[in-house]
Amino acid sequence: MAAPRIGQRVPWLHDRSLLPGALRSASGRMLARYDVTRPDLARLLDGEPRYRVDQVWHGLHQRGLDPGEMTDLPKSLRARLGEVLPPALALVAESESDDGDTLKSLWSLNGSQTGGRIETVLMRYRDRVTVCISSQAGCGMGCVFCATGQGGLSGQLTAGEIVEQVIRARRRAEPRRLGNVVFMGMGEPLANYAAVWAAIERLHGDAGISARRITVSTVGLVPGIRRLAAERLPVNLAVSLHAANDTLRDHLVPVNRRYPLAVLGAACREYTETTGRRLSFEWAMIAGVNDRPSDATELAAIARPLHAHVNLIPLNPTPGYATRGTPAAGVRAFRDRLAGLGVNATVRDNRGTDIDAACGQLAARAGSAAPQPVSVGATRESSYHVDQRP
């Protein structure tokens, strides 16, 4: 690239999307580093030795390197790649909890048309390292107890923005190995299906993370569940259930009004029968709302025929929802009742509650409304007269 003359206005110095050689989407937007495909990279490296494509691809996906760190490339090529392959994510802030074992990262989306922000959470356990990633900026599902849902949807993430979260987390986890990826951060993954699945294929095929170590969580978008069942990669499915009758679930998880429990249950059965994979149900324990013995009985009627595992999650506080989580003793009693009904259940170890990094807390500081307790009066009592349809 020729150096500009003194006094000459150079457009790409002011707008990186005009940079000569930059790769662009169909809309003309400059592609970020992990939105570039292997054929894109081959075009970008036209004129270079063929092995350069493999070198750069491996450096990006297996080693998580910035182009400037790829010392097996000529210095001039490193500089050019750094210009035309910008990162999608810019770190805004980090917060640590649990003696450094939980790290929440806040990212701004470089070049995004929405200008949004997302969060990821890296969790180091004794026997594994897991990253919880976002699939959307915000969320449009409107679950009443979830901070992300309270803030609404800002925009969709690209496959590259999703992949980059994992690559960054893997570098941050070193020297330990990142082994698990869960789509349980901001957003509803199945509402951004194409980008999420493209990211999963890239993580499995190029970044070396087995699909069996990837979990997709959904509030119950039935078309997406059926589509997931037909895919070739054996990812895990977790359904955020939270209520086992339609009246209560209509309130807690509004998408239930479109896909009620009978329809959701049929899709879950199709998933397990097609894939042979174990299904998980997520259940946020809300005091006086869904933690009574009758709730356990209703949940067991749905989970047992599906051989589903239940993850019990003590509700985490958010600014927009004042109802408290179930105390620890109540959570254990609920778990034991499920076990007595033939359902395998575990209590999730909450991480990062003090830094708003726990389940349901992401983006809790943005756009929060005054806390509103859930009504558990006549509506709650009548909910137990709804016929159960597993």
Catalytic hit among 69, 298, 359, 381: 359
Active site residue 359: yes
CA distance 131 to 214: 10
Report which of 81, 93, 2 is spatially closest to residue 45, judged by C-alpha positions: 81
Query: What are the backbone dihedrals phi and psi of residue 194, each rounded to the nearest 5 degrees, phi first?
Result: -60, -45
Catalytic hit among 69, 119, 146, 164: 119
- CA torsion sign for 32, 47, 75, 207 is positive
Are the C-beta atoms of residues 238 and 216 closer than 8 Å to each other? Answer: yes
Q: DSSP character for 36?
A: -
Which 3-state string (H, E, C) describes 48-75?
CCCHHHHHHHHHHHCCCCCHHHCCCCCH
What DSSP string describes 171-233? HHHTTSPP-EEEE-SSS-GGGGHHHHHHHHHHHHHTS---GGGEEEEES--HHHHHHHHTSSS
Which 3-state string (H, E, C) describes 300-352?
HHHHHHHCCEEEEEECCCECCECCCECCHHHHHHHHHHHHHCCCCEEECCCCC
Catalytic residue positions, numbered: 119, 359
